[in-house]
Amino acid sequence: MYLGHFALKEAPFSITPDTDFFYAHEGAQASLNTLLIALRSGEGFIKVVGELGCGKTVLCRQLLRLLHDEFVTAYIPNPDMGPDDLIMAVVHELGIAAPTPLSRHRVHEALREALIGHATRGKRVLVCIDEAQAIPLRSIESLRLLSNLETEKRKLIQLVLLGQPDLDTTLERPEIRQLLQRITFSEYLGPMHPSRVPGYLAHRLRCAALSEDTDTEVFEPAAARLIAQYSRGTPRLVNVLAHKCLMLAFGEGGHRITTRHVHLCARDTPAIEPLPSWWRRLWPQRAAPRTRRRGVEDSFGAERP
């Protein structure tokens, strides 16, 4: 790997959500601020819809990290399950012992007693459900019933739903309009503004650096802007391109990422759409050669027949 070559302690552009690398660009920070204010105000249901690869999961984990001392928290990463299983997942994540013999009524009673106990001790309970667009319709009613758990003063449990745009389509269905009416705050998380991508790249390199002396000006300004164009500001695609560029530069023995590296890596990445023809007309000297399609591995010096 290229870690030693660039004086890094860990891979800076992993697509695994890691709050140590959280970058508070305008959209992410605005969503986080709204969530913090709404939850601390006692709101019961909050929704965050984000495009694919725009950082919903890392936003969720950053939220849980910030609220760890104030709330008892639970995180459901895959809610594609039936109503009873979904409630059992919440019970398990909150550390509540499942009653025996097991029954729906007993589980709900155990959950209610635990929530009242937390409220008595001054602790709020937060459940974050990621990939919420995958919740089956028959299970959404279970979430609505959870929101009914309250005292005269406040909700006993607060829920945050995070999902792709399909979540909005699901919530608009007439049979679950009661849940939609209970969502008091709704946020949208989109791609980064292109101007933020160079800062994002430098931020992640700083977070992964071995020391303060590590050179984090690895991406030439033009290369960083080109990554922003190819990725359309989607953090996951930025990470994929940046990681492959570091691999390519390492294979060549270099320490700077140029537009040539970005073009080659973009052409080797199926999820990246080609730049529009007007871009090549305006800046023909920056366009990648189109005579043959090269894989990133070719530039590593691999033998080719």
Query: Would you state the pLDDT for residue 292?
Result: 39
If one compares 278 and 159, the residue with the highest pLDDT of the two is 159
Of 149, 164, 189, the residue that ends a domain is 189
Residue that terminates a domain, selected from 189, 210, 244? 189
Query: Is residue 13 in a domain?
Result: no
Q: Which has the closest alpha carbon to 244: 270, 225, 207, 281?
A: 270
Domain count, the chain: 2
Structural domain includes residue 18: no
Q: Any idea which of 84-98, 112-126, 132-146, 274-288 has the lowest mean pLDDT?
A: 274-288
Res 234 pLDDT > 50? yes
pTM of the model: 0.86
Q: Is residue 100 part of a domain?
A: yes
In terms of residues, how long is the chain?
A: 305
In whole angstroms, give the CA distance from residue 165 to residue 82: 22
Q: What pLDDT sits at residue 152?
A: 72
Q: 3-state SS string over 205-218? A: HHHHECCCCCCCCC
In this structure, the answer to whether residues 82 and 112 fall within a common structural domain is yes
Question: Would you say 262 and 228 are in contact if contact means Cβ atoms under 8 Å apart?
Answer: no
Q: Both tokens of residue 189? A: 């998380």
pLDDT band for position 180 (cuts 50, 70, 90): confident
Give the whole-angstrom CA distance, residue 62 versus residue 237. Answer: 20
Compute the average pLDDT of residues 90-102: 90
Res 175 pLDDT > 50? yes
**Structural domain that includes position 180:** 26-189
Residue that is last in its domain, among 165, 189, 213: 189
- Map tokens 């305006």 to a residue: 282
